[in-house]
Structure 1
């Protein structure tokens, strides 16, 4: 019986590890933002759409969110700074990427960063974006 329980826990852990959004147990995500992100677990989006998603959810959580493109080698990446919590949204040309907590970029990276203006989407627009992306991702 104990082995079944352990097996169930291992399966639950692997499902969590496979989710689009990195587990927030490590407190890398602000609490309210983590709660809002759970709605979008399993949704595959491009790096730019991840940036839009984070900006919209940060606004819902009443957090400030700055969106940037860092010119990392060999490719640029989109990152978001939500009230001092940094997130890697993926390579700027990625059509499917994960949102991952990251360390604060270096001063040199921030000095050459490009601000990315993203539209502030409401819940209905976010749903449509996810549905549209899922449709075109499978065509």
Structure 2
């Protein structure tokens, strides 16, 4: 199996449990690990490009707060709020108690060029 095929298989396994449209939109970013906040930026930008809703929240919790996104009709964990390297993962909807104590996170809306630049910065940082 070639390196390219292995990367494709790894990306495919990372997308298990994602809605097909989101998996398709995330495919170009499958090899990039971003901070939790940048994961929110990525989901928000991809939702905007596809005219879908994306609500970004911070859920307080133990041991740390976590960023989550309600992307169209699914919920996705984006990592602990102070994580500089996190994965986007499907999750069960938060409880009503968690939602009552959550806070909305304002994230800037990035265009495709800005997303590419953000990913390049992380790729460079990972190799330094």
Q: TM-score, normalised by structure 2?
A: 0.87
Gaps of 5+ in 1: 1-7
Name 1:4's counterpart in structure 2. Answer: none
What is the DSSP-based 3-state SS (H/G/I as helix, E as strand, rest coil) of the residue aligned with 2:14?
A: coil
Q: 1:21, 1:14 → 2: CA distance?
A: 10
Q: 1:75, 1:128 → 2: CA distance?
A: 29
Q: 2:7, 2:116 → 1: CA distance?
A: 26
Name 1:119's counterpart in structure 2. Answer: 108
Whether the aligned pair in 2 keeps the contact of 1:88 and 1:100 (CA below 8 Å) is yes
Whether the aligned pair in 1 keeps the contact of 2:11 and 2:27 (CA below 8 Å) is no
Name 1:22's counterpart in structure 2. Answer: 14
Name 1:44's counterpart in structure 2. Answer: 33
**Rg comparison, structure with higher value:** 1
Q: 1:90, 1:21 → 2: CA distance?
A: 18
RMSD between aligned residues: 2.1
Name 1:93's counterpart in structure 2. Answer: 82
Q: 1:66, 1:21 → 2: CA distance?
A: 25
Return closer, same or farther for 1:84/1:125 CA change in 2, 3 Å cut-off: same
Structure 1 position 40, deviation (Å): 0.4
Selected match of 2:59 from 41, 66, 70: 70
Gaps of 5+ in 2: none
Name 2:121's counterpart in structure 1. Answer: 132
What is the DSSP-based 3-state SS (H/G/I as helix, E as strand, rest coil) of the residue aligned with 1:131?
A: helix
